[in-house]
Structure 1
Amino acid sequence: MSNMFCFQCEQTAGGKACTVSGVCGKNPEVSNKQDELTCALVGLARSAYGKETIKETDRVMLDGLFATITNVNFDAAKLEELISLANSEKERYGKAEDLAFDNLWNGDTDIVSLRSTLLLGIRGMAAYAYHAVNLGKEDKEVTAWLYKGMKAIGEEYSINEWLDILMEFGHINLKCMALLDEANTSAYGHPVPTKVTTIIEKGPFIVVSGHDLYDLKQLLEQTEGKGINVYTHGEMLPAHAYPELKKYPQLKGNFGTAWQNQQKEFEEVPGAFLFTTNCLMPPKPSYIDRVFTTAVVAYPGLVHIEEKGGKKDFTKVIEKAIELGGYSEDKIMTGINGGTELMTGFARNTVLSVADKVIDAVKAGAIKHFFLVGGCDGARPGRNYYTEFVEKSPKDTVILTLACGKYRFNDLNIGEIGGLPRIMDMGQCNDAYSAIQVAVALANAFECGVNDLPLTLVLSWYEQKAVCILLTLLALGIKNIYIGPTLPAFISSNVLGVLVEKFGLKPISTPEEDLKTILS
C-alpha cells in the first residue's frame, strides 16, 4: 500500500503520482492530512449545500481548500486544526457523512480523472475567492458553488454529466476572476506600465512572495520611515504596477526569479522573507531563520503571522530585517536571461486604452499574430521551451503573458511594435481575467469570434490555479490551446481524447514546429 497518493501538480513523480514523498517537499503525513481535510470539506458541503451559510463557515471552506493547494501548507498540526473546524462547522447544518478516504482517488480511471479535475479546479477558484474576500468582495453565487462543487466530488455521474459540471464550473470561475479583478482595482487602482529593477539596494530589506496584495499593503504601511526596503518575489511582481502600492517609495524592485529557484536564490541572503500564499518550498537551514508565513501558508518551525481583527502585525518580520542588515553594497541580480529590468502593468485597462493603435497595427500588417504565453513555472526540464518560443517568435508578433511562467523570458528585450513593447506582462495568474477581456474586446472590434482572431494561447501549468483557468477557457469555447511542458497526470487518455476532439487541446512539441504550425 502506498504511503501517500498525490498527482495534483505538474512535477509529480514519474509523471504519474507521488506515492512515497512529495516532489514539492510534503511528507506522507501532510499529504494524507490534506486528503482527510478534503473529505471533511465534502462532508461540510453535503451538510450545508442549499442552505444559508454564515461567514465563519464560508471561511473554513475557503481556508481548507486553499491549504490543500501545492506549496501552501506543510504543517500536519495546522491541517488537523482545519479538519476540526470543518467538522465543527458541519454540525451547524445537520448530519452528513464525510467522503470516505478510499473513494477520493480510487475507482474507474476516467471518472477519477474527471472528479479530480473538478476538485483541483475548485481549489484554484477558492484561492481567488480568498483574495477577494480579504478585500471585502464576495459573490454569493461563487460561494454557493464551492459547496455545490465539493458536494459533487462525493457523488456519481456519467462522463457526459461530469463534463457538463466542469463547463458549469468554468463559467463560475470566470465570475470569481471578475470579482477578484474588481477587488484589486477598486482597492489599488488599475495597473499602469511600470519598469521594475532587479538590483537590490544596500541596507535592510524584506522580500514578499505569493499573491496577496493586501498583505503587501499592510507591510508597506508598517515599514514607512523605517529605512527598510521591500522587494517583490515571484507572483508578487505585478504589485509594482498598482498606483496605491507603487506610491510607497520603499517598494523598490523585484528579488530573484520564479518560485522554484528560491532554495538557490535565498541561500544566506541577509534579508527577511514573507510568504503570503502558495509558492513556499521547504526552507534550507542557511535561511530558515528568516522565513515567515502568514494566512494559510505553514511550515513546521517557521514564525507565523496571525491576523487579528482583520489586521496583521509584521513587527517580527521588520525586526528580523533590521537585525540582518541587508547587503553592504548594492547587489546586482539578473533574470534568467541576464536582464536587470522587468516590465509589468499591461492589464486590461492599459491594453484596451491603446486598442485603437493595436487594431490599426493589425490592419496595417505591423502585427501579424498575438501569443498569450503564460501560466505557472516549475522545475521540470523542458520549460526552456517557453523561452525559446518567445525568442523565436517573429518580430511582427506580440507576446502577452501572465503568471510566473513569464520569468522564463520577461527579462528579454525583443523590441517594440509601434511604440508598444512586444512583451506585455498582464499580471499574476489571478489576472487571467484581463487576458480574456482583451481577447473579447479584440474579437468585437474585428467582428469575429475569439477563435477567429490571430491569437494563440501557449500555456504552461504547474498547480491548481492553472487548472481552473484552463477550465474557464474551455467553457468559453476557446480552442486550439497549446499546453505543456507535460500533460496533467490526472487527465486519463480517454478524457484527453475528448478534450482534443472537442476543444483541439494540443500538447506542445518544439518551439520551431509549433510556431510553424500556428503561423502557417
Structure 2
Amino acid sequence: MENMFCFQCEQTAGGKGCAAAQGVCGKKQDTALLQDKLTGALIGLARTANNNVPDAAATRAIIEGLFATVTNVSFDSTAIRRQIDEVHAEKAKLPGCACCSSGCGNDYDMKELWNDNEDIRSLKSLILFGMRGMAAYAFHALMLGYTDDKVNSFFYKGLLAVGSNLDMNDLLPLVMETGKANLKCMELLDRANTETYGTPVPTTVPLTIEKGPFIVISGHDLHDLYLLLEQTKGKGVNIYTHGEMLPTHAYPKLKAYPQLKGNFGTAWQNQQKEFADIPAPVLFTTNCLMPVKDSYRDRIFTTEVVAYPDMVHIGDDKDFAPVINKALELGGYPEDKIMTGINGGTQVTTGFSHGTVLSVADKVVNAVKSGAIKHFFLVGGCDGAKPGRNYYTEFVKKSPKDSIILTLGCGKYRFNDIDLGTIGGLPRIMDMGQCNDAYSAIRVALAMAEAFQCGVNELPLTIVLSWYEQKAVAVLLTLLSLGIKNIYLGPTLPAFVSPNVLNYLVENFQITPTSDPETDLKKILNQ
C-alpha cells in the first residue's frame, strides 16, 4: 500500500506530517488515503462543472465531502468509499467539460499536491484546509435550510485552484478570497442559528450531572440538539452538552427545554479519559471524535458525516431512539455527580454573542473612555493535546485586571471556569460561542472601530489564537482577509505553511508565534 501523507492539523507527526501506518489523530493509513481520493473526486466534480454551480445535490456532495475530511470527523473507510461513489454519481449527471475532451474532469491525484513545490503546496493547502473548515459551517447552515450561492460557488472555484497549475501570484489572492468566502459563510450560519433558535443571551451553565438517565451530545450542530430535545420530551432523560455544544445553552428556543441541564466534561481531547465508564451514551454530531476506547465503545453514536467503524450511526431519518433507549438502559449516576472544570470551577457562562455585546455597546464604550477597560483580548480557537496549551490558561490568569477576555471555540475550556470578576458590571470573561462565532467577534470589533472612529488595528484589541484543525484555518484566513494584523498564533505554527509563505504573512500581517504569557503580555501592552 502506498504511504499516507497528512499535515493538516496541529498535532501532525514531528511537526512535519503523518506518513506512517496511522496518523497521530488515530486515523488508519487506508482511511487517510481514501480521504485523499475523496478530495480528488471533489476536484474532478468541480472540473466537470466547468465554472458553473450544478444543482443542490452536487453542491451538498461537495460540502459533505470537504466536511468529512476535517480532522476527527470520519474514521470509517466504508463511509468514505460511499461518499466517493456519491461524488462520482453527481459528476456523471453533468454534461462533461464543455471546452475539450482531454479528460480534464478526471479525479485529481493528491500526490501531485503533496509532491509539489513547497510554496505552491503551502498556498494550495491554505485554500483547501480553509474550505474544509468553511464546509463545516456551510453544512450546519444547510441543515437549517440556509444556503448562499456565492459561498457555494467558491467551493467549486477553490477546488479548481487546488487541482490547477496556478503560480504564487494567482494563488495568494485566492487565499485571501477563501477568508472572505468564510466570512460570508459564518454570517450565513449566524443568521441561520439566530433566526431559528433566537439571539443567544448570557447563561450560566452548571457542570454537575444530576442523577438518573442522561445523554451527552457533542459537536456543533444545533439542529441535531433540537431534534434530540424534541425526542426526549417526557422520557425522563436529561441532556448534557460537551465540547463546542456548550454555547447552545444560550439560545432561547433551546434553553426552554427543561431536560437541557448542563455541560459534561471539558474539551474534545480529554474525552478518552472523561468518557471512560460513563453510565450514558454520547452522540457525536460533528467533528471532535477520537479513537474510541473499549471502556465506552458500546455507548458511542454518530450522525451526519461523522463515522467510526462498528459504531451505531443515526441516518437521515434522525431517529434517536437507539440513543434514548441506551440512556434508559444505563440509568445514569445513582446520585448527583459534582464535576468541575480544569481550574476547579463548578459552572461556566456563555452567550455573549454580538447581539448581546452590541446591546450594551454604550456601556463598553464608556468604560473604555473612562479608563476602566484598557484592553480587550480575544483568546480563542481550538484546544488540543500537545504540550504548550497551558499558555492560554496562564495568559488569561496574568491578564491585567482592567482588561476584558473575549473567547470562543473549545480553547476556552482552559480557563472558562475561572472567576475573574467584573468591570463596570461586565464580566471579565465573555464566551462568544463556537469557533464559527468568530463572526460575532468581528462584528463587535468593527462596531467598536466605528464608535471610536478608528481602524480595527488601532483598537486596544489583541487576538491570541490557538489552532488545531481546519476550521481554525478558515477563521484565521477570514481575519487576514479583513486586514487584521498583529495576531498571536500558537501553540505551534502550521506545518503546511512554508518559510516563504510564513515570511509573507509576518511581513504583511505581523503574525507573531506565541512565546510565553509574560513576555507576550508585556510586548502587547507596551506597544
TM over 0.5: yes
**Cα distance per residue 1:7-44 (max 9 Å; x no partner):** 00001111111111111110000000000100010000
**Cα distance per residue 1:171-223 (max 9 Å; x no partner):** 11111110000000000000000000000000000000000000000000000
1:408 aligned to which of 409, 414, 427 = 414
Percent of paired sites with the same residue: 67
1:199 aligned to which of 205, 208, 214 = 208
2:460 aligned to which of 454, 464, 467 = 454
Match in the other structure for 1:4: 4
Q: Quick check: 1:56 aligned with 2:66? A: no
Q: Quick check: 1:179 aligned with 2:188? A: yes
Instruction: Give, as a single letter, the amino acid of the residue that structure 1 aligns with 2:342.
Output: I
Q: Retained in 2: the 8 A contact 1:2–1:19? A: no
Within 5 Å, give how 1:18-33 maps onto structure 2.
Answer: 18-20=18-20, 21-33=22-34
CA 1:171/1:323 → structure 2, altered by over 3 Å: closer, same or farther?
same
Per the alignment, in what secondary structure is the counterpart of residue 286 of structure 1? helix
Structure 1 residue 334, shift from structure 2 partner: 0.7
Match in the other structure for 1:440: 446
Match in the other structure for 1:133: 142
**Aligned partners of 1:438 and 1:105: how far apart in 2?**
39
Structure 1 residue 157, shift from structure 2 partner: 1.9
Q: Retained in 1: the 8 A contact 2:53–2:156? A: no
Match in the other structure for 2:77: 76
Per the alignment, in what secondary structure is the counterpart of residue 456 of structure 1? strand
**Aligned partners of 1:452 and 1:10: how far apart in 2?**
30
Q: Quick check: 1:34 aligned with 2:35? A: yes
**Cα distance per residue 1:236-286 (max 9 Å; x no partner):** 000000000000000000000000000000000100100000000011001
**Aligned partners of 1:429 and 1:444: how far apart in 2?**
24
Structure 1 residue 52, shift from structure 2 partner: 4.3
Q: Quick check: 1:214 aligned with 2:223? A: yes
1:382 aligned to which of 368, 378, 388 = 388
Instruction: Give, as a single letter, the amino acid of the residue that structure 2 aligns with 1:125.
Output: M
Q: Retained in 2: the 8 A contact 1:49–1:148? A: no
Q: Quick check: 1:516 aligned with 2:517? A: no
**Aligned partners of 2:4 and 2:405: how far apart in 1?**
40
Instruction: Give, as a single letter, the amino acid of the residue that structure 2 aligns with 1:31.
Output: A
2:324 aligned to which of 318, 329, 332 = 318
Q: Quick check: 1:238 aligned with 2:255? A: no
Match in the other structure for 1:17: 17
**Aligned partners of 2:258 and 2:50: how far apart in 1?**
47
**Aligned partners of 2:524 and 2:518: how far apart in 1?**
10
Per the alignment, in what secondary structure is the counterpart of residue 46 of structure 1? helix
**Cα distance per residue 1:465-510 (max 9 Å; x no partner):** 0001100100000000000000000001111000000000000000
Within 5 Å, give how 1:75-114 maps onto structure 2.
Answer: 75-93=76-94, 94=96, 96-114=105-123
Match in the other structure for 1:352: 358
Per the alignment, in what secondary structure is the counterpart of residue 196 of structure 1? strand
Instruction: Give, as a single letter, the amino acid of the residue that structure 1 aligns with 2:16.
Output: K
Moved over 3 A (4+): none
Q: Retained in 2: the 8 A contact 1:376–1:405? A: yes
Structure 1 residue 106, shift from structure 2 partner: 1.2
Structure 2 unaligned regions, length at least 5: 98-104
**Aligned partners of 1:395 and 1:64: how far apart in 2?**
45
When structure 1 is superposed on structure 2, of 85-94 and 136-145 the one drifting more is 85-94
1:493 aligned to which of 491, 494, 499 = 499
**Cα distance per residue 1:54-80 (max 9 Å; x no partner):** 111111111110000000000001100
Structure 1 residue 101, shift from structure 2 partner: 3.4
CA 1:4/1:482 → structure 2, altered by over 3 Å: closer, same or farther?
same
Q: Retained in 1: the 8 A contact 2:350–2:430? A: yes
**Aligned partners of 2:381 and 2:52: how far apart in 1?**
36
Q: Quick check: 1:150 aligned with 2:159? A: yes
2:273 aligned to which of 264, 276, 291 = 264
**Cα distance per residue 1:322-364 (max 9 Å; x no partner):** 0000000000111010101100000000000011000000000
Structure 1 residue 2, shift from structure 2 partner: 6.4
Match in the other structure for 1:338: 344
- Count residues in correspondence: 517
Q: Retained in 2: the 8 A contact 1:42–1:150? A: yes
When structure 1 is superposed on structure 2, of 102-111 and 453-462 the one drifting more is 102-111
Q: Retained in 1: the 8 A contact 2:53–2:59? A: no
**Aligned partners of 2:52 and 2:172: how far apart in 1?**
26
Structure 1 unaligned regions, length at least 5: none
2:431 aligned to which of 422, 425, 435 = 425
Instruction: Give, as a single letter, the amino acid of the residue that structure 2 aligns with 1:258.
Output: A
TM superposition score normalised by structure 2: 0.97
1:304 aligned to which of 287, 298, 313 = 313
Per the alignment, in what secondary structure is the counterpart of residue 515 of structure 1? helix
Q: Quick check: 1:364 aligned with 2:370? A: yes
Instruction: Give, as a single letter, the amino acid of the residue that structure 2 aligns with 1:272.
Output: P
**Aligned partners of 1:189 and 1:234: how far apart in 2?**
21
Q: Quick check: 1:43 aligned with 2:44? A: yes
Structure 1 residue 91, shift from structure 2 partner: 1.5
Match in the other structure for 1:477: 483
Instruction: Give, as a single letter, the amino acid of the residue that structure 2 aligns with 1:485.
Output: P
Query: How large is the Cα RMSD of the aligned pairs?
Result: 0.9
Q: Retained in 2: the 8 A contact 1:170–1:473? A: yes
Structure 1 residue 3, shift from structure 2 partner: 2.3
Q: Retained in 1: the 8 A contact 2:43–2:163? A: yes
Instruction: Give, as a single letter, the amino acid of the residue that structure 1 aligns with 2:106.
Output: E
**Aligned partners of 2:112 and 2:466: how far apart in 1?**
30
When structure 1 is superposed on structure 2, of 105-114 and 507-516 the one drifting more is 105-114
**Aligned partners of 2:53 and 2:25: how far apart in 1?**
37
**Aligned partners of 1:119 and 1:461: how far apart in 2?**
16
TM superposition score normalised by structure 1: 0.99
Structure 1 residue 290, shift from structure 2 partner: 0.6
Per the alignment, in what secondary structure is the counterpart of residue 342 of structure 1? strand
Instruction: Give, as a single letter, the amino acid of the residue that structure 2 aligns with 1:114.
Output: L
Per the alignment, in what secondary structure is the counterpart of residue 166 of structure 2? coil
CA 1:413/1:2 → structure 2, altered by over 3 Å: closer, same or farther?
farther
**Cα distance per residue 1:428-473 (max 9 Å; x no partner):** 0011100000000000000000000000000000000000110010
Q: Quick check: 1:293 aligned with 2:302? A: yes
Instruction: Give, as a single letter, the amino acid of the residue that structure 2 aligns with 1:88.
Output: A
Structure 1 residue 49, shift from structure 2 partner: 3.8
Q: Quick check: 1:254 aligned with 2:260? A: no
Instruction: Give, as a single letter, the amino acid of the residue that structure 2 aligns with 1:27.
Output: K
